[in-house]
């Protein structure tokens, strides 16, 4: 599958400069970082969560683990991992396991782990297992002005 058109249109409509980085097909974000020869802390990944109020995307470095209880406390919601069917329904133009960490592009509320802001630039899953989007961290943050921020991860 080519990179997600929703993602590309979102980036273009916000006039964000980016480059596409190709890498050999990989099954995980950590493997993608390794294949693209970048630090895993510079690869932002999205984790889709849900509760009775709807969906929320947690965005964190590929080098970190989500601390679900900490996130639940921070946002005041009883979130759980979304199912693969739910993920496929929202991210229709993406391969499973390669969702872009830009919830607003898909109408999903987003919360960002503060550790991402320590990076000058970031890489994002592009909707498939062979491409990453490379952009400046400031541009990435500007794409999500309504996103909450917090500390809800631990290094892997």
Taking 60 as the threshold, does the pLDDT of residue 133 lie above it? yes
Mean pLDDT of the 65-71 span: 97
Taking 80 as the threshold, does the pLDDT of residue 52 lie above it? yes
Contact (Cβ atoms closer than 8 angstroms) between residue 41 and residue 141: no
Mean pLDDT of the 103-124 span: 96
> What number of CA atoms fall less than 13 Å from residue 43's CA on the CB side?
25
Mean pLDDT of the 89-111 span: 95
Taking 90 as the threshold, does the pLDDT of residue 1 lie above it? no
Percent of the chain with pLDDT over 70: 98
12-37: per-residue pLDDT in tens?
999 999 999 999 999 999 999 999 99
Taking 60 as the threshold, does the pLDDT of residue 134 lie above it? yes
Mean pLDDT of the 37-55 span: 97
Residue 112: name the closest of 79, 73, 82, 74 by CA.
74
Distance CA 17, CA 35 (A): 23
Mean pLDDT for all residues in the chain: 95
Q: Which CATH architecture has domain 5-155?
A: Alpha-Beta Complex (3.90)
Give Cβ neighbours of residue 12 (< 8 Å, ≥ 6 apart).
none
């Amino acid at each position: 599958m080519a990179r997600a058109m929703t993602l590309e249109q979102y980036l273009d409509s916000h006039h964000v400069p980016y480059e596409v980085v190709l890498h050999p097909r990989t099954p995980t974000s950590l493997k993608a970082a390794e294949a693209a020869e970048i630090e895993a802390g510079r690869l932002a990944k999205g984790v889709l969560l849900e509760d009775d109020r709807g969906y929320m995307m947690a965005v964190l470095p590929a080098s970190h683990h989500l601390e679900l209880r900490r996130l639940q406390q921070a946002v005041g919601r009883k979130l759980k991992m979304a199912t693969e069917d739910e993920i496929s329904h929202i991210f229709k133009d993406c391969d499973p396991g390669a969702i872009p960490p830009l919830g607003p592009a898909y109408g999903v509320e987003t919360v960002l782990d503060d550790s991402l802001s320590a990076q000058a630039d970031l890489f994002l899953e592009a909707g498939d297992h062979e491409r990453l989007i490379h952009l400046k961290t400031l541009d990435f943050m500007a794409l999500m002005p309504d996103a909450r921020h917090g500390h809800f991860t631990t290094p892997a």
